[in-house]
A and B are shown apart, each in its own frame.
Chain A
Amino acid sequence: MKFKKLLAVGATLAVSAFTLAACGSKSSDSGKTLHWEDNAEISTLDPSKVTDVVGFNQLNNVTEGLYRLGKDSKITPGLATKTTVSKDGLTYTFTLRKDAKWSNGDKVTAKDFVYSWQRTVNPKTGSQYAYLFSGIKNADAIMEGKKSVSELGVKADGDYKLVVTLDKKIPYFKLLMGFPLFFPQNQKVVEKYGSKYGTASKYFVYDGPFKQEGWTGSNLSWKLVKNDDYWDKKAVKLDKITYQVVKDSNTGYNLFQSGKLDGALLSAEQTKQLKGQKNYTVFHESTTFYLQYNQTKEEFKNANIRKAISLAINRKDYLKVLGGENTAATSVTPVGLTKVNGKDFQSIVSDKTDMTYNKAKAKELFNKGLQELGKDKLEFAILTDDTDAAKKSVEALQSQLKEAFGDKVTVNTQTVPFKTRLSRSTSGDFDVVLSAWGADFADPISFLDLFTSNNEQNDGKWSNAEYDKLIAASKNASSASDRWSDLEKAEKILLQDQGVTPLYYRNQAWMVNDKVKGIIYNTAGANLNFKDTYIAK
């Protein structure tokens, strides 16, 4: 009889499953709800500990600092109502608005900034982003444990005045103030929750346009609701933003088609099919992929060899192999990072002569380089990640170089896990490595600093005295236009010498419901700002 019973139970289960499912939920939308996706879980809300785009995007919408970054990373008002900078550029005095409140009712004061910043630079906190504080008085010494946190160059003068002193000029300092790492933290709340702080919606406090609800620390869906305590709540048009973590882009697109999502990130494969269709949207990232040469090796010290490699790469064909929405690079600083007098910095420094496919010239330079080296052929390996995209990428490079230089070159590939690639890059254990860098803030210096001679992250060890001088000068430039001209000259040197060989800028292709208006997307730092977003009728 048991078998019969089992059969009966099974059948009942199956039937009830279908009936239950048939009356599935229908979501009701008031026209003020945005349905958005993220491609990974939130790792934490703790501003001192966030390291990923998902977390920074959350913080950018649920918290606020001195400024809020608007379109094209323009500084728009946040908690600071007035900012004065001393003549030497080393002291910033911020006056805070008095009507800003935390969601627990506390007032947001200058002390919250002091506490937050001290907490982040404290080595005990273990912040992986603390290096951005470098330049604020004593920050470096505190991070190394040589000075106490109270010596950090940030002081509260009363509740509504914040005074910041710097060790050296930071021309992009205001821009940094729009990055969530520099936002205030409520000491009372941090201490109340202790190690739980920022590990779930309920263990956090909000001072931004929205408040987060329903994130348990490991789940895949949550929402942001309008924050009624926010000082500028009148400007906030959305009532709610629902989030879903979508890791499979097919799923994302299916959800988008069924109206369950207003935005879905596309894969390279989907990009091919959907390009040019209604709702298709491209977001630029501030990430550039480039080849770094190990210049402690004689053959890569040779500029002709480096230039020849750059000219032998047909970036258009290469990107076709790679798929997706990427743009061929003609500079290190990517498209859309920042504007100088209304002109994209990328277009100012763009170097087409050294980065446009030219097989004849490539061959000529390669032969010249070999001659200078006293060799008749060159063998080297390109190190890269072991993802499918990276493998495709390096194989395409391999065949293009072979095509250009024939028997005179042997290119091997080394595909290793991401973290191995990083470790080997740092220790200089490579010939040529395919690297990527994304900016944390919208300023060319976040790229150009990397290639100064004594920068720890200059893995290839390219070195150019003139370049170093220009970068140093840019940090002390007396006017903005001088600074831009220093940076421009520096990048041009880097490109003409092919200190590194830029390949492409990475972009994201999305389907975004065309009724959704007013999304502010910035290429660097926290990308998305939904404060002004609304849904058209």
Chain B
Amino acid sequence: MRKYLLKRVLYMLLTLFLVATITFFLMKLMPGTPYTNQAKMTASQIEIMNKQYGLDKPIWEQYLIYIFGMFHGDFGTSFQYSNQPVAYLISSRLGASMQLGLQAMIFGVFFGVILGAAAAIKHNTWADTGATVIAIIGKSVPNFVLAILLQYYIALKLGWFPIAGWGQFSNTILPTIALGVGPLAETARFIRTSMVEVLNSDYIELAKAKGLSKFEVVYHHALRNSLIPLVTLLGPYTVALMTGSMVIENVFNIPGIGEQFVKSIMTNDYPTIMGVTMVFSIGLVVVILITDIIYGLIDPRIRLEGNGGNK
């Protein structure tokens, strides 16, 4: 296990290094300058600024400087937020996105599993059709549409929750629902499919024959086995949710990282682009590793040891 982990961590570092390198050079291919007032600056003023920020140096030299800084934990300072260290920008913005993503994930998986399991147990009845319809709607209605509807009807018309803002738990409810309906639908569909399959298998027949109660059959045997494939799906999904959704953040005025990332690309804010990309990548590789480990824990057929197969 230890050997396996070590190897995986080494691969992770290599992946991150490659991501940093590729992002850096792609980013430098974008035309324009990182100066927000570029429209009004003359070429000679831009030249002075480039000298000031070291952007007149050859690209490979800028690359080396950046990588060197990164290894020392220095992500540089943002251009759009003058003087603000990128590390602070990310750390102060990531929390809201992570909280929201996690809440949406818990909300989605929790109700998704219930919905999916209910549909599978009541296979081919009205309950199944109902659950499928909910899942299809949840999957096909874009989350920003849902966000706008929730905001208008639940917050403005009924006044149950704040329209927008951040800081109190009540602020998080509507965005959690808007963001969580996607994973809810996905989970429900997934659980339903795999559980229908499992419920038809021989060992379930055996369990039933042994005289186990319906709950025990469903919970101990059927659900647990159906959850395994879900794990692969949920890992990357969680990262995607936690790294922020620009649209949901904008609708509910949430100080998250999603919009920052898009804005940094639009404005050529090089240090922020690099910083956010690296944080997202780290999140992703770590979650993939954790997913693989959890896989091994819940499914004894999968072995993590040795050199075989699973990399």
Contact = CB atoms under 8 A, between A and B. Distances in A.
Q: Do A and B come from one complex?
A: yes
A196 B48 contact: no
B163 A260 contact: yes
B221 to A, nearest CB: 12
B169 interface: yes
B164 A246 contact: yes
B143 to A, nearest CB: 13
A220 B253 contact: yes
Interface string A271-304: 0000000000000000000000000000000000
Contact of A46 (B53, B82, B250): B82
A199 B88 CA distance: 11
A52 interface: yes
Contacts of B98: none
A135 interface: no
Given A144-B48, A257-B156, A220 B83 contact: no
A419 B253 contact: no
A30 to B, nearest CB: 21
Interface in B138-162: 148, 151-152, 155-156, 159-162
Interface string B39-63: 1111111001101110000000000
Contact of B52 (A124, A129, A196, A426): A124
Interface stretch (A211-219, A318-326, A398-406): A211-219
B69 interface: no
A52 B169 contact: no
Chain A interface extent, by class: 35 or more
Contacts of A418: 32, 266
Given A126-B52, A219-B255, A254-B151, A456 B156 contact: no
A6 B255 CA distance: 30
Interface stretch (A18-26, A169-177, A475-483, A498-506): A18-26
A138 B80 CA distance: 29
A457 B33 contact: no
Interface string B245-261: 00000111111000100
B280 interface: no
B32 A251 contact: no
Nearest to A257: B156
Contacts of A99: none
- Nearest 4 A/B pairs, CB to CB: A419-B32, A21-B170, A456-B42, A128-B37
Given A44-B82, A422-B38, 20 more contacts: A6-B110, A10-B106, A13-B106, A17-B169, A41-B81, A43-B80, A49-B82, A123-B52, A124-B52, A128-B35, A128-B41, A131-B40, A143-B48, A217-B81, A246-B164, A251-B251, A254-B156, A418-B32, A418-B266, A419-B31
19 contacts: A10-B110, A17-B170, A20-B168, A22-B160, A24-B161, A25-B168, A41-B81, A196-B83, A198-B82, A217-B84, A218-B88, A218-B93, A219-B92, A251-B250, A254-B155, A254-B163, A418-B32, A436-B39, A456-B43
